[in-house]
Structures are given as C-alpha cells and as structure tokens.
Amino acid sequence: MTMGTRFERDLPDLLADLYPESAPSYRDDIVRRIATTRQRPAWTFPERWLPMGVITLTRQTISPVPWRTFGLLAALALLLAAAMALYVGGQRRLPPAFGPAANGALVVGDGGDIYLIDPATGDRTLAIGGPTIDSDPVFSRDGTRFAFYREDGGRRGLFVADAHGQGVAELSTTGLADVGAIDWSPDGSSILVSGNDTGPGMVAIVPVDGSAARVLDLGIRAEDAVWVPPDGREILFRTPGEVPNVYGLVVARADGTGSHMLVPPPGTAAADWSGLYFAPSPDGSEVAFQWRDESGTLKIFLVPTAGGTPRAITTVESVLPRWSPDGARIAFAGPDGFYAVGTGDPAPQTRLVAGSRGLLARWAPDGTHLVLLTDGGKMLLVDPTGGPSVEATWSATNLPDWQRLAAP
Amino acid sequence: MDQHGLIERAQQGDHDAFAELVDSAIARLDAAARLILRDRELAQDAVQDALLRAWRDIRGLRDPGRFDAWLYRLTVHACLDQARRRRRRAVEVALDPLHLPGSPDSSGDLVRRDLLDQALRTLDPAQRAVVALHYLLDLPLREVAEVLGIPLGTAKSRLHYALETMRSGVLEPPAGPTVVPGGQVA
C-alpha cells in the first residue's frame, strides 16, 4: 500500500477526530425558533423539490421500423421542418424586445430532446435530438434563436441554435457553476445566467458570439437575475438577507455596479419573504413580487423600479406573478385557482381557473391567452378575461417557451 | 417512528416530529459545517439557517427518501453563504484552535491531525465541502456532485485537488521540527 492510499484510508478517521460529532448546545434554540416559524404551504412550490441531480432519462427502446415507414416518416419530418422553417424564416421583421408581439412556435424540452410545436396545428417537430440531454430552451426576445442547456458525459454547457434548431453552437461558460436561469438581453447579444436558491449565487453575462462569459462582481449573493426592460441597462435579482429566510430584491447596473435594495424599502420591517418570486413589468417601470403582508398572507405587490412604497394588488393568497405582454394584467396562482388581476388602481381580480390545478404558466406573446401546465400534465389555454379555458391540442411535460414574432 | 413517518408528520406541521429529525441529524451537520467553515460560530449560524429553512420548506420535499441529501444540500449552501458573508465583511475571524497538547512531544497521530488541519486551511470552503460530504458524511462522489449541484467531473477535480493538498501537507510537512519514530520531535 502506498503512503497516498493509506492516507486516503485514514482520512475519514482523522477528520472524525478533528471534527467529532457531538450534540451542539444550540439545538434547543433551533427547536424554539422552529416553533414560531411558519411553514411554506405546499401549493406555493412551483416545482416540489425534485429528487436531486441526475434525473434519469429513460430512453425508450424502439422496435425495428420497416424502412418504407421510416422513409415516409423522415420525409414527413423534413416537410414539417421545411414548413416550420418557411413559417419562421418568412418573418423578416423582428418584434420589439418587450410588449405585445405575434405568436410564433413553442419550444419545449422533453425527455432530453428539444421540440418545436406549432400551436395552431399541434404538430410537434424534433429540433435538437441525439444522445445528449438537452433541456430548458428559451427563445431570444426577437424569436430568431433559442438557448438551451446540454448535458453530455456529466458536463453541462449552454448552447444556442437558430429558431429551427440548426446551427447549434456552444457558448463560453468556463468558470460558471450551477447556473440555471436563462434571460436573453433585450438586444439579443448576450444571455444573463444565474443560479437559483440552492446554487452558489453567481450571475454572469454570456455573449452569444462565443466570447468569454463575464461573472458580475455584485458583492452579494444573487438568484434568478433578469434584465430590467426596456433597454437592459439594469438587472434585477433576489438576494438572501442577513436574517435567515428573509430575502430582498436588488437592482444593479448591468456591469454589476451600483447595487441598491429595491425591497424591502428603507425602514420597512423585514417580513418572511419566503419564496420571493418577482417579475419586472414589460415597460420596466414596476416590479411585481410576492410578499407576506402584516397578517402573514402572501400577496402580489407592485413597487416602482426606481424605488418607492410597495402596494398590494391582490386580496387572496397569491404567488408567482406573471405580467401580460401589454402590462395591463398580472396572472398569478392562488390556493383555490389561477387568477388574473388588473395592474391599475383599483385592480379587479378574476379567477380564471377554479381549483388548484397548476402553478406554471406563460402568456402568449399576443396576450390573448395563457398556457397553464396543470398538475395532471395537461396544457390549458386560459382566457385572461375570464372566458372558458380549453385544453391545448398539443402536449408537453414541461412548460414551453413561446417565440415572439413581429405583429402582422 | 421511522424517518419517513417523522418527515410526513413534519410536513403536516408537527414540531415534535421535526425536533426528532433535528436530533438525529444535528451532530453530523454541525461537524460538517465546522469542517467547511473552520469556525464554530459561523458553523452554528449555518446549521441554524439550514434547519430553519428545512422546517419552512419541508412541504416542498417530494421524496422523503432524499431527506438526508436535501438537508446536506441546505447545510452546505448555508455554509457557503456564511463563508461569502465573512469574505464580504473582510472580518478576520478566529479559526477554531485545534485541541492539541501544547507540548512538543505529541504522538504521531496528533501531529498528522495538526498537519491535516493546516492543510485544510489552505482549501477554500467549496473544496472543503467536497471533503466533508465524501469523507465525513460518507457520501459517494456522485451524490456529492448532486448535493452540491455540480457536474460529477467538477466534484472529482475538486476532491483530487483537495486530496493532493492534504496529502502533501500531511506526508510532506513544511520545514520545521522533524518527527522521529516514537512521536518525539527532533
């Protein structure tokens, strides 16, 4: 046995001697604090904590397919891809980065591959396939490309492809750890990537031309960072406070300088900001976020991006605010259904879907409806004015992203 | 009651059940946090943060079979948060003194532990987290990667670097008194 292997064999004992396990004296203090700490309701978790790490993607065993059938299917796929390419490629004008736009294709990661879906027909086309695990596609704001994550042999990287899934290129993510959220810059030249509440709190700007990523030196932990509309000169992110489980929202310049706390405003008593989800308005003037009020109820609040006093716009317990493209409404989830509320004052509140059927939703770019992923795995097309919801003709296991196109 | 039963009760708001879960985990979480942070008070803060968060968010835990791994993840990230805050404040904190006899005639094991302790100081908290999870909490490397949310290759390289550092620190100690057989110092 070499000295090295003996060292490794002895290491657990050496460490156990250095750091012996003993019941610490603060155990009672923790138990006392727990007795006065509210639990977060189960329904407020958009994705209940998944079994960690590698989600095993079982690839189906495909029975032998007769060549004639295979050829026919391939031809059909080519035709579909060509039709999709014509459909997408024919749109020469580009939509604005924020605000209403025409509805294009849907893109969704499913089973380690990425698909495009034509929402009008429900046709689903494989855009990115192969043995790699590709996931989390997000369209650029002008709809010409999408970014996605690819895992290959334990390595995870950020990639871009054009809107048809062609021209796949890897972006530089050297030195970035555990980032998940993707937010395209308004001009489409870069992507803001950041971690969530269990990652290292890193934010970086990744240029889509393949040049090196730049990690922002914010001086504080940052989660779920997004660009502030309309020009992306600033970014907005969540940061954990000094008190456990209390979070704040911070605005900083896009170069990482000039951080200032947006909420809680100065002098405001810190509440339990558990699960602080937020979204800037399409014009960037306000930020919607969820916060417990004095009674302990989670509500949606609005605060000017430039700073000011937050105002509650919901009356029921509410989480996960989603702005409509025109900024006139905010959709949110409640314990007994899915709602929309006007952003004016007063703000009329409408329950769109009864029952706790799902939390994850996305507005269509034209604002005429929302797509809601239900707990049962179905896609509901929800009328934001309160009309009847209908089940989509297409299906996906994850919430798709919607391509924005120039309005006709 | 088994752990699954306690978790289910805790998910229904049962404080006593969660207290039992705390009792079964707190000693090893505290040891791991002390290794990662090398500061008793910061480790205490990190474990308290992690356990409070676990209580708050336990209803979001879909698979009770992953409770331990989930708790490790919360603890490690609370530790890395504490380390980040400490760095930000640029406050020098006293490192945990190693409880070694002051006399120079320590046994070989004590000297090795001292050298190991010195080597651990040269690692950053993220590297010590890999060491804590793998060698103190006995997690396979794949689970270490999952807990830390990093690719397996990254976990392997961090562990490799940490091992090399510790090994060279222990087997090739810095110039100083030479340990001779029998634990005497020359």
Residues of A in contact with B80 (CB under 8 A): 200
Binding-face residues of B in 147-186 toward A, CB within 8 A: 147-154, 163, 166-167, 170-171
Under 8 Å between Cβ of B5 and B49: no
For the packed helices B141-148 and B67-89, what is the interaxial angle rounded to 10 degrees? 60
By C-alpha distance, the chain B residue nearest A52 is: B146
Question: Taking every pair of C-alpha atoms in chain B, what is the biggest distance, in angstroms?
Answer: 63
Residue pair A323/A333 in contact by the 8 Å Cβ criterion: no
Which of B27, B35, B116 minimises the CB distance to A22? B27
**Which region, left, alpha or beta, applies to residue A267 given φ > 0 means left and ψ of -120 to 50 means alpha?**
left
CA separation for the pair B144, B158 (Å, rounded):
11
Mutate to test the interface with A, among B87, B114, B150, B157 (most CBs of A within 10 A): B150
Based on its alpha-carbon atoms, the radius of gyration of chain B, rounded to whole angstroms, reads 19
- Within a 10 A sphere around the Cβ of A152, how many other Cβ atoms? 12
Residues of B in contact with A37 (CB under 8 A): 52, 55-56
Residue of chain B with shortest Cα separation from A25: B44
pLDDT higher than threshold 80 for residue A339: yes
- Return the closest-CA partner of residue B142 out of B156, B123, B132, B126: B156
Interface of B with A in 94-113 (CB under 8 A): 98, 109, 112-113
Q: What is the pLDDT of residues A75-97, one digit of tens each?
A: 777 777 777 666 655 556 899 99
Q: What is the mean pLDDT of residues A139-160?
A: 89
Closest CA to A331 of A376, A263, A386, A396: A386
What pLDDT score was predicted for residue A40?
80
Interface test with A, best of B116, B130, B134, B144 (most A CBs within 10 A): B116
Give how far Cα A130 sits from Cα of A76, A114, A342, B51, Å. Answer: 19, 10, 44, 42
**Which pLDDT value is given to residue B62?**
79
In residues, how long is chain B?
186
Highest mean pLDDT of the ranges A9-23, A65-79, A87-101, B20-34: B20-34
Q: Say if residues B156 and B142 touch (Cβ distance below 8 Å).
A: no
Cα A260 to Cα A246: distance, rounded to the nearest angstrom: 16
Could you tell me if A333 and A320 are in contact, meaning their C-beta atoms sit under 8 angstroms apart?
Answer: yes
Higher pLDDT, A159 or A268: A159
DSSP category for residue A38: P
ipTM: 0.77
What are the φ and ψ backbone dihedral angles of B179, each rounded to 5 degrees? -80, 130
Rounded to whole angstroms, the Cα distance separating A124 from A80 reads: 9
Q: Is B85 on the interface with A (CB under 8 A)?
A: yes
Cis peptide before A46 (omega within 30 of 0): no
**CA count, 13 A, side-chain hemisphere, B174:** 8
- Of the listed ranges A69-73, A110-114, A274-278, the least confidently predicted one is A69-73
Percentage of chain B beyond pLDDT 90 is 35
Which of these, A179, A249, A239, lies nearest to A214 by C-alpha position? A179
CB pair distance less than 8 Å for B117 and A18: yes
pLDDT value for B28? 94
Could you identify the residue written with the tokens 């835990």? B61
User: Is residue A250 a contact partner of residue A239, using CB atoms and an 8 Å limit?
Assistant: yes
Q: Is the entire prediction scored with pTM above 0.80?
A: no
Sequence-distant (≥ 6) Cβ neighbours of residue A189 within 8 angstroms: A207, A208, A209
Eight-class DSSP state of B134: I
pLDDT surpassing 60 at residue B132:
yes
- DSSP reduced 3-state for A20: coil
Tell me the pLDDT tens digit for each residue of A190-213.
999 886 554 556 788 999 999 988
Question: In this structure, are residues A128 and A163 in contact, taking their beta carbons and an 8 Å threshold?
Answer: no
CA–CA gap between residue A145 and residue A291 (Å, rounded): 35
Task: Give CA angle at A204 (B87, A157), nearest 5°.
Answer: 115
Q: Which of A291-295, B5-9, B75-79 has the highest mean pLDDT?
A: B5-9
Find tokens 């990667």 and name the residue.
B145
CA nearest neighbour of B130 among B150, B101, B107, B106: B150
Q: Which of B11, B24, B26 to mutate to test the interface with A (most CBs of A within 10 A)?
A: B26
Helix (H) or strand (E) holding A127: strand A124-128
Q: What is the Cα–Cα distance from A352 to A365, expressed in whole angstroms?
A: 18
Model confidence pLDDT, tens digit, residues A168-190: 999 987 766 666 778 999 999 99
Q: Of A157, A125, A106, which Cα lies nearest the Cα of A399?
A: A106
Which residues does chain B have within 8 Å of residue A12's beta carbon, measured at their own beta carbons?
135-136, 138
